Amino acid sequence: MLQVENLTVYYKTIRGYVQALEQATFKIADGEIMGLAGESGCGKTTLGHSLIYLRPPMNYIGGRVVLDGQELPIWDMEKMREFRYRHVSLIPQYAMNALNPTRKIGRMIAELLESRGVNYNDVLPELKRRLDLVQLTHDVLKMYPIELSGGMKQRTVMVVSTLLNPSLLIADEITSALDVSTQKAVCEMLVEFRDRGFVKSTIIITHDISILYQIADSILVMYAGQLSEKAPSEIIFRDARHPYTRLLIGSLPKVGVRYREERLRGIPGSPPQLLNPPPGCRFRERCPVAFDRCVEVPPFLEISPGHFVACWRAY
Amino acid sequence: MVRYLGRKIFIYLLTFFVAVTIDWLIPRFMPGDPIGMLLSRIGSRPEAFKYLYTYYVQAFQLDVPLWQQYVNFWKGLFQGDLGVSIWMYPQPVMTIIRRAIPYDIFLLLPAILLSWFAGNHVGALAARIRWLDNTILPLGYLLTATPYMWLALVLVWFLGNQTNLFPIAGAYSPQYRPHLSLTFILDVLHHWFLPFLSLFLVMFGGWAIGMRNMIIYELESDYSRYLEALGTPQYLIRRYAFRNAMLPQITGLALQLGGIVAGAVATEVVFAYPGIGYIILNAVQNKDYFLVQGCFLFIILGVLIANFLIDLVYVLVDPRTRLGMTGE
Ligand SMILES: Nc1ncnc2c1ncn2[C@@H]1O[C@H](COP(=O)(O)OP(=O)(O)OP(=O)(O)O)[C@@H](O)[C@H]1O
Ligand code: SF4
Ligand SMILES: [Mg+2]
C-alpha cells in the first residue's frame, strides 16, 4: 500500500526552480496497477523517480511517502538506499541501456545481488523460473547485453528489477521503444508479475494512455506537474470528469503508437512553462470551459469512491 | 575468430605496403640535392667535385631508373639493409638507428608507463574527491595546454641553468665513453632525468584529465544510474565505471607505446638527447634520403604493430568488439 501526500519536487536550475511536481496526493492499494499518463514533460518521470531515486537537480520541497505503513526517507539519497530494490524498484525509461555493456548479464546480476547482501545461488532457481516466464532462455545469463535484442533487454531488466519482490514497482515508458505486438506482451507480463505476487503495487508510466486500457486497474492523469484525475480505468475511459482527461480520451486514435504525435497536437495549445507557471489551474489556458474560479488551484477531491479530480467544474 | 584475424592481418600488410611505398616516395620529392650538400661540406676543388659526384651517385645507386631504385629498396629491406647514410657517410642507416633506439626506449617507456599509471589513478580519484578535482583538473589542463617547448625550456632554465641540479644536454657527460660502472650509470640517469620529467609531466596531465572525464561520463551513464536506483553501493558502481573508462585509456597507451620508436622530437632536440627524434631532425636538415626513410620505416612498423596489439587486446577485454566480429 502506497500513500503519497502533498509531494512537491522541483528541479533546481540556474534560472530558478522548475516546478515539475506540485502537491501530489494519491494512494495505490496492494495489488493495484496504476497507470500514470499525461503529455511529454508533464512530470511523470519526476513523480516516479521521486519515490525511489531523488537526486540533484531534483529537489525535495515537501510531502510524505508512506509504503506499507513505513515512511520512506526519499529526501535522503543514502538512507533511501536500503529501501531501493527490496521495497521500491524501478524499470527505467532507458531500460535498453540499463545493463553494463562489459559484464555478462549473469555476472552483473550476481554482483548486484551480493552488493545488496543477497546470495546469487540462492536466488538462481527463481531467477531461471522468471526468465522462463518472460520467455528468455537461461543463456542470456552467459551473454553480454549487446547480444540481446531491444525487447530481450527490456524483459531482462524487468526480471532483474523485480527479483527481490518489491512492494512497489515503477515501470517508466517500458513500451515506447517497442512495436505494438511486443508492447502488449510486455504489459501482460507486468500483470502476470502482479498476479504471481512478485510485486504488490505497480505504477506504469506512459504517455500513450491507450495501452493502459486492458492492464491498469486505475489511471492517474497529470498535467503540467499537477494531478488532474485519478479513477478506476473504466471510469477514466467512460466517465472522466476533468476536461483534460476528456480531451485526452476523446482524441484517442483507433490504434496506439503511430498517431501519438497527432493526438497530442489534437488538443489545441501547449502546456505552460514549468519554470514560472501561471497560478491556479495550469490547464486554464487550453481549457475550453475555464472560468474566473480557475485562477485558484482546484483541490484534488474524491467526488465518488476512488474517483479523484482537480477541477472547479467537476465537484 | 580466425577469419577476423586473417582479415585484420591482411589489412595491416596492405597498409604496411602502402605506407612503405609512400615512405620511399617522399624523400625523393624533397627539394634539394643531398649529394651536393655532402660534397660541399668536404669543400673540394671543382674537378674533384665532379668526379666525386658521379662516384657518390653510383654508390647510392641514384643513377638507375626510379622503378629499379624502388625494387632495390624492397630487396634491401628484406635483408635488413636500409642503405648508407649520407649525413653520417659511410655508416649504414641500420647501425645509426640501432644505436638511437635504446635511448628512445629508455626515455619514453618509463615516461609513458609511469604517467599512464599515475594519471589514471589520480584521474579516477579526482572524479570523486572534490578538493583533488579542484587542484588536479586545472593543473592538468595547464600542463597539457602549455606548449611543450616552453615547459621543457622552463625546466632547463630552473633545474639546469639556475640551480645546476641537472645537466641540460646529451645522454651522458662528454668525458665518458659508454661502459658499465656505477659512476657512468649514475651519470646517464642524471642526464635522463630532465627530459624524462618534462615528458612525464605533459603526459600525466593528459592521462589524468582523460580518465577523470571518462569516469564522470561513465558514472552519469544509464547503467550506473540504474544500479544506483537499485541501491547498489558506490564501490560497485565505481568499479564498473573504472573498468569501462579504462578501455579508451588502453588504446591510448598502446598508441603511445607504438610511437616510442618515433622518439620525441621536441624533447630530444631541446635536451640534445640522441634518440630517433634527434636523428630525424638532422637527417631532414641534411637531406639524407636513406636515413629519413629508415627512421620512418621503424615508425610505421611501431604504429602498425601497436594497433594490431590493440585489436587483439580489445578482442579480449571488450565484448562489444568480440561479438561485432561475427556480426559483420
Ligand atoms: N534535469 C532537469 N532539469 C531541469 N528541468 C527538468 C529536468 N528534467 C526534467 N525537467 C523538467 O521537468 C518537467 C517534467 O519532466 P519529466 O521528465 O518528469 O516529464 P515526463 O512526463 O516524464 O515526460 P516524458 O513523457 O517526455 O518522459 C519537464 O517540464 C522538464 O522540462
Ligand atoms: S479548473 Fe478550470 S481551467 Fe482547470 S480544468 Fe477545470 S475548468 Fe478547466
Ligand atoms: Mg519520462
**A22 lies in a domain?**
yes
Q: Nearest residue of B to residue A81 by CA position?
A: B231
Q: What is the biggest distance separating any 2 CA atoms in chain A, rounded to whole angstroms?
A: 64
CB contact under 8 A, B231 and A99: no
pLDDT band (50, 70, 90) for residue B141:
confident
In a domain, A138, yes or no: yes
| Beta-strand pair A168-172/A201-206 | parallel
User: Do A33 and A170 share a structural domain?
Assistant: yes
Burial A101-110 (b: 16+ CB within 10 A, else e): ebbbbbebbb
Q: Residue A116 and residue B320: Cβ atoms within 8 Å?
A: no
Query: Which residue puts its alpha carbon closest to atom 6 of ligand 2?
Result: A311
Q: What is the mean pLDDT of residues A9-30?
A: 92
B105: domain CATH number? 1.10.3720.10
Please name which of A98, A97, A93, A3 lies closest in space to residue A49, comparing C-alpha atoms: A93
* Residue A265 confidence (pLDDT) above 80: no
Residue at which a domain ends, from A163, A182, A203: A163
pLDDT band, very low/low/confident/very high, at A260 (cuts 50, 70, 90): very low
Q: What share of chain B has pLDDT > 70, as a percent?
A: 94
A56, part of any domain: yes
Q: Are residues A31 and A176 in the same domain?
A: yes
- Binned at pLDDT 50, 70 and 90, residue A132 comes out as very high
Give CA–CA dist A214/B179, Å, rounded. 88
Overall number of domains in chain B: 1
Which cell goes with A232? Answer: 478506476
User: For atom 5 of ligand 2, which residue has the closest CA?
Assistant: A311
Residue A52 Cα to ligand 3 middle (Å): 14
Nearest CA in chain B to A87: B230
* Mutual angle of helices B276-285 and B289-317, in 10-degree steps: 140
d(CA A201, CA B142) in angstroms, rounded, equals 54
Determine, yes or no, domain membership for B25. Answer: no
Q: What are phi and psi of B262, to 5 degrees?
A: -80, -10
Contact A8, A277 (CB under 8 A): no
The residue segments making up the domain with residue A296 are 2-87+166-255+263-309
Atom 29 of ligand 1 has which residue's CA nearest to it?
A41
A-chain residues near B227 (CB < 8 A): 100, 112
Q: Give the minimum alpha-carbon distance from B234 to chain A in angstroms, rounded to a whole number.
A: 10
Strands A33-37 and A88-91 turn out to be: unpaired
- Cα(B89) to ligand 1 centroid in Å equals 73
What is the C-alpha separation between B269 and B75, in angstroms, rounded?
33
Nearest alpha carbon to residue B309 among B255, B260, B265: B255
Domain boundary among A163, A187, A215: A163
User: A116 to chain B: which residues are within 8 Å by CB?
Assistant: 230-232
What's the predicted TM-score (pTM) here?
0.80
Q: Is A67 in the pocket of ligand 1 (CB under 6 A)?
A: no
User: Residue A195 domain-assigned?
Assistant: yes
Position B312 in a domain = yes
Output the pLDDT for position A262: 45
A82 and A102 together in one domain: no
Alpha carbon of A47 to ligand 1 centroid (Å): 10
Residues B204-253 have pLDDT tens digits of 988 999 999 999 999 999 999 999 999 999 899 999 999 999 888 888 88
The answer to whether residues B287 and B34 touch, using CB atoms and an 8 Å cutoff, is: yes
User: Is B178 within a domain?
Assistant: yes
- 3-state per-residue secondary structure call for chain A: CEEEEEEEEEEEECCEEEEEEEEEEEEECCCCEEEEECCCCCCHHHHHHHCCCCCCCEEEEEEEEEECCEECCCCCHHHHCCCECCCEEEECCCHHHCCCCCCCHHHHHHHHHHHCCCCHHHHHHHHHHHHHHCCCCHHHHHCCHHHCCHHHHHHHHHHHHHCCCCCEEEEECCCCCCCHHHHHHHHHHHHHHHHCCCCCEEEEEECCHHHHCCCCCEEEEEECCEEEEEEEHHHHHHHCCCHHHHHHHHCCCCCCHHHHHHHHHHCCCCCCCCCCCCCCCCCHHHCCCCCHHHHCCCCCEEEECCEEECCCCCC
> Is A112–B319 a contact, with Cβ atoms under 8 angstroms apart?
no
List pLDDT tens digits, range A276-285.
888 899 998 8
Q: Which residue has the cell 616552453?
A: B150
Q: Is residue B55 one of the residues assigned to a domain? A: no
Domain holding B247, by residue range, is 93-326
DSSP state of B177: P
The set of cell numbers assigned to B264 is 620525441
Helix (H, G, I), strand (E, B) or coil at B92: strand
Closest-CA distance, B319 to chain A, in angstroms, reads 6
* Nearest residue to A154 via CA among A97, A207, A114, A208: A97
Q: What is the pLDDT of residue B323?
A: 64
Pairing status of strand A70-71 against strand A2-13: unpaired
Residue A57 near ligand 1, beta carbon < 6 Å: yes
Q: Which of A142, A138, A143, A118 is nearest to A128 (CA)?
A: A138
Question: Is a pLDDT exceeding 50 seen at residue B38?
Answer: yes
Whether residue B111 lies inside any domain: the answer is yes
Contact B320 A111 (CB under 8 A): no
Q: Are B305 and B258 in contact (CB under 8 A)?
A: yes
| Residues of A engaging B, defined by a Cβ cutoff of 8 Å | 49, 52-53, 55, 80-86, 89-90, 92, 94, 97-104, 111-112, 115-116, 144, 146-147, 157, 160-161
The percent of residues in chain B predicted with pLDDT above 90, rounded, is: 16
Contact B244 A102 (CB under 8 A): yes
Contact A102 B231 (CB under 8 A): no
Phi, psi of A170 (to 5 degrees): -110, 115
User: Per-residue pLDDT for A214 more than 70?
Assistant: yes
A45 lines ligand 1 (CB under 6 A): yes
Is B85 domain-assigned? no
Distances (CA, A) of A123 to A85, A160, B203: 14, 11, 47
* Whether residue A217 is found in the same domain as residue A286: yes
Judge whether A315 lies within some domain: no
- Same domain membership, residue A49 and residue A114: no
Q: Which of A110, A128, A163 is the last residue of a domain?
A: A163
Is A132 a member of any domain? yes
Which strands, in side-by-side order, build the sheet including A226-232? Answer: A88-91, A168-172, A201-206, A33-37, A218-223, A226-232, A307-309, A301-304
Q: For B112-139, what is the mean pLDDT?
A: 88
Using the predicted structure, report yes or no on whether residue B11 has a pLDDT greater than 70.
yes
Same domain, A124 and A7: no
Q: Are A84 and B226 inside 8 Å of each other by CB?
A: no
Of all helices (H) and strands (E), which one includes residue B56? helix B46-59
pLDDT at B43 over 70: no
Report the pLDDT averaged over residues B270-289: 86
For A41-55, A142-156, A261-275, which range has the lowest pLDDT when averaged over its residues?
Answer: A261-275
Do residue A74 and residue A146 come from a single domain? no
Whether residue B311 is contained in a domain is answered as yes
> Are residues A240 and A155 part of one domain?
no
Of B230, B244, B250, B314, which to mutate for an interface test with A (greatest number of A Cβ within 10 Å)?
B230
The partner residue sitting opposite A146, judged by closest CB among B226, B227, B323, is: B323
d(CA A41, CA A94): 16
Q: Which atom of ligand 1 is nearest to the CA of A18?
A: 5
Dump pLDDT digits (tens) for A241-255. Answer: 999 998 888 765 544
Rounded (to 5) percent helix, strand, coil in chain B? 80, 0, 20
Question: Can you tell me the distance from the alpha carbon of B195 to that of B203, in angstroms, rounded to the nearest whole number?
Answer: 12
B95 near A CB under 8 A:
no
Q: Vertex A182, ends A105 and A150: CA angle to 5°?
A: 35
**Residue A314 covered by a domain:** no
- Cα separation, A162 vs A174, in Å, equals 14
A159 and A171, same structural domain? no
Phi-psi region of A132 (alpha: psi -120 to 50; beta: other; left: phi over 0): alpha
* The three grid cell numbers given for residue B161, joined into one nine-digit string: 641553468
Query: Within 10 Å of residue B33's Cβ, how many Cβ atoms?
Result: 11
Total domain count, chain A: 2
- If you search the block for the grid coordinates 609531466, which residue do you land on? B201
Angle (CA) B200-B203-B209 rounded to 5° is 130
B225, B230, B247 ranked by CB distance to A89: nearest: B230
User: Is the domain of A130 the same as that of A273?
Assistant: no
Output the domain CATH number for residue A287: 3.40.50.300
pLDDT tens by residue, A178-191: 777 778 888 889 99
Phi, psi of B79 (to 5 degrees): -95, 10
- Comparing alpha-carbon positions, the chain A residue that sits nearest to B314 is A102
On whether residue A92 sits in a domain, the answer given is: no
